Amino acid sequence: MTTNRTRLARASGLLFVPFAALAHHSPSMFDGSKQMTLTGTVREFQWSNPHSYIQLVVKGADGTEQEWSLEMGANAYLYNLGWRPSTVKPGDTLTVKVDPLRNGTRGGLVIEAVTADGKTLGRRP
Amino acid sequence: MSLRLSMARFALVSSVVVLNAGVWSSVSAQDSGAWQGVWIADGLTPDISGFPPPGSRWYKLLDPQAPWNEEGRKRFEAMMRSGSDRKANGWGFPMMMDGAAPFEILVTPHKTLVINIYRDVRHIYTDGRAHPADDERWPTTWGDSVGRWDGDTLVVDTVSVRNPPLYFFSAPPLSEQAHYIERLRKNGPDRIDSVMTIEDPVTLAKPWVLNLTYVRAEGTDRLLNDDYANDRSEVEAGLFTIVPPKR
């Protein structure tokens, strides 16, 4: 399915190279066709702009811990969806659906976040 | 204080009140307070990813079916084909009027401000002035706007919009000769309808008419601005990636 995100990703270039160190960006860096689910422990929740981040520690298939950098919308967007700076805390167990980074490093765009007791954290207002 | 000084002050205050009354009456008749609140383009509310979720409508200002002429179609296809990537400082005009960023409309007697969460600001002067002369204005990210009240409708005339835009990673590839007219009208307590008409001798074969709707942004009663204090995206091999957090 061609989503708004993927269409925006395709239309993200125009005539420029990245020009600003501090700015928001298009979703072209994420691969929406390879959505994956991760369960892990929160190391840090960054309530910030232009994007918020969850640092999630996930056990790999070999039992080793791997830290993922998971991007979310700006804090203003999360606020409107019911999130607050205290919504996610270090030590929380989370299961997240993410669109992974295209370059293969451990990172992605959070599409859904579910707590250990099965509660989906505000996706829509 | 002397009687003469008191009378002079009274006269001065009275004249200011009288001068302002004519301007304000046309605005207060529109119930300017009703425009207060946080608005967002209907159908573009982002999910937790920061982008409108799958199934959302596409941006009307990025419409391949707009009445592009040959030059406009060529520019539009180049925009859609481009594989490069870039960041944006905000949305700029006109994208901020059909984007995923909540905004406020502040109606005052002499001007109306449109401000979004990315600190894009439009200054729409409604005090009867015209656009500055050609040699006193130049293309900017938000253009030059003047407005007037036509009954309950705010009519906004915008020119001198910079293109290609520097503020957003996608925008209609219009020229800097483009002329934008918006007619914004409150349609009930929770809805503003706008008809935006764009004319551009360089990229459009005929006027491009867009019907835009704004609804109350849910979940907030204030505009939340914040600076870009935590930008963790950097380009590697031509594609953005997320850099590790600062520890």
Residue A31 and residue A34: Cα distance in Å, rounded?
A: 6
Query: Is A14 touching B (CB cutoff 8 A)?
Result: yes
Look up the domain containing B213 and give its range. 21-217+233-242
> Of B110, B114, B64, which Cα lies nearest the Cα of B94?
B114
Answer yes or no: is B2 within a domain.
no
21-60 in chain A: CB under 8 A from chain B: 21-29, 44, 46, 48-53, 55
Q: Mind telling me how many Å the CA of A61 is from chain B's nearest CA?
A: 22
Residue of A nearest to B170 (CA): A12
Chain B positions touching A15 (Cβ under 8 A) are 78-79, 82, 164
In a domain, residue B247? The reply is no
- B245 or A8, greater pLDDT: B245
Is the pTM for the entire model greater than 0.80?
A: yes
> To the nearest whole number, what is the mean pLDDT of chain A?
84
pLDDT for position A122: 83
Closest CA to A74 of B83, B193, B90: B90
B245·A15 Cβ contact <8 A: no
Q: Considering the domain boundaries, does residue B39 fall inside one? A: yes
Residue B12, H or E segment: helix B3-28
Contact A8 B51 (CB under 8 A): yes
Q: Does A2 touch chain B (CB under 8 A)?
A: no
Task: Return per-residue pLDDT of chain B as tens, 247 residues.
Answer: 443 444 444 344 444 444 444 444 455 545 668 899 999 999 999 999 998 888 899 999 999 999 999 999 999 998 877 644 667 788 999 999 999 999 999 999 999 999 999 999 999 999 999 999 999 999 999 999 999 999 999 999 999 999 877 667 788 999 999 999 999 999 999 999 999 999 999 999 999 999 999 999 999 999 998 988 999 988 888 788 999 998 7
Homologous superfamily of A31-125 in CATH? Nucleic acid-binding proteins (2.40.50.140)
Residue B138 region, left (φ>0) first, then alpha (ψ -120 to 50), else beta?
beta
Token pair for B241: 């990636």
- Residue B30: the pLDDT is 57
Please give the torsion angle defined by the CA atoms of residues A40, A44, A47 and A52, in that order, rounded to the nearest 10 degrees. -50
The CATH number of the domain holding residue B170 is: 2.40.128.20
In a domain, B223, yes or no: no
Q: Are B215 and B191 in contact (CB under 8 A)?
A: yes
Chain A residues touching B50 at Cβ < 8 A: 24, 51, 71-74, 77
Give me the DSSP letters along A34-84.
G-EEEEEEEEEEE--SS-EEEEEEEE-TTS-EEEEEEEE--HHHHHHTT--
**Per-residue pLDDT, B15:** 43
**Which residues in chain A are closer than 8 Å to B217, comparing Cβ atoms?**
80, 125
Q: Is residue B127 part of a domain?
A: yes
Among residues B153, B174, B151, B180, the alpha carbon closest in space to that of B162 is found at B174
Q: Write down the ipTM of this complex.
A: 0.83
Is residue B201 included in any domain, yes or no? yes
Domain count along chain B: 1
For A61-84, the pLDDT digits (tens) are 899 999 999 999 999 999 999 999
β partners of residue A54: A45, A70
Q: What is the rounded CA–CA span in Å between residue A120 and residue A114? A: 4
Which pLDDT does position A21 carry in this prediction?
Answer: 32
Three-state SS for B40? strand
Write out pLDDT tens, residues A21-65.
Answer: 334 566 778 998 999 999 999 999 999 999 999 999 999 889 999
Which of B45, B49, B234 is the best mutation test for A, with the most CBs of A within 10 A? Answer: B49
Which pLDDT value is given to residue B53?
A: 86
Q: List, as ranges, residues 190-209 from B with C-beta within 8 Å of A.
A: none
Q: Where are the domains of chain A?
A: 31-125
Look at chain A and count its residues: 125
User: Would you state the structure tokens that stand for residue B224, as one six-digit string?
Assistant: 């939340």
